[in-house]
Amino acid sequence: MDYRDRHVVVTGGTGALGSAVVTALVEAGAICHVPYIAAGEAERFALRAHPRVNLMGNVDLSDEAAVARLYAAVPQLWASIHLAGGFAMSPVAETTRSDLMRQVDMNFVTAFLCCAAAVRAMSHNSGGGRIVNVATRPALEWRMGTGAAAYAASKAAVAALTVALAEEVAKRDILVNAIAPSIMDTPANRKAMPKADPTTWVKVEDVAAVIMFLASPENRATRGAVVPIYGKS
């Protein structure tokens, strides 16, 4: 896939999946704009010195003005990939309103604001653009959200946003899709679930490969999809 000289925003780009996506993008010739909120994220990011990686610090993706400034600084936006989010386990009876809204802000609000800003930016392009969101398996299979209902609901909202927005902007040649991975094989997940069998988990490189296609110029028809990426699980 040829991303030469195409500008791509990758939120959550300093994380495990984000690093795999940014690596694949720069290898394909893209110029990546990667916002982050904490200095430690940038310090740990292996691609921080890459000439085609533009790290953008102190960006709160749940803040509308901050998101607008982020996208205004990106020339000729081609693709916007929204990996930023967060997970929390909590039974419904033990989940406060504050807990719920934190999940909504981290997962749904960030995706919504970035989608809106991306559409505005891409509307100035003659060639349209691509948007990729991240849902999750429990967003499609609700019973799997047991014990983490706030998280599952916030990600289900991302899936609904994706499908509705895809229909809304299709005639502008902006193709909007999402992925719905199951548990990914990351250092954080291995630490959190030491007794689990990670051989059944999805590799971040495999998830990145799906994102790469959906966000690429080679994707000329797929829109409104929420693609399950379950691996062997």
Q: What is the CATH number of the domain that holds 178?
A: 3.40.50.720
Residue 122 within any structural domain of the chain? yes
- What residues make up the domain containing 19? 7-225
Residues 6+ apart with CB under 8 A from 132: 79, 80, 81, 82, 176, 177, 178, 179, 211, 214, 215
Q: Which residue has the tokens 């800003």?
A: 117
Residue 232 within any structural domain of the chain? no
Q: What integer pLDDT is reported at residue 197 of this predicted model?
A: 87
Residue 1 within any structural domain of the chain? no
What is the reported pTM? Answer: 0.96
Residue 26 within any structural domain of the chain? yes
- The tens digit of pLDDT for each residue in 184-225 reads 988 888 988 998 888 899 999 999 999 999 999 999 999 999
Q: What is the total count of domains within the chain?
A: 1
Residue 233 within any structural domain of the chain? no
Amino acid, res. 123: S
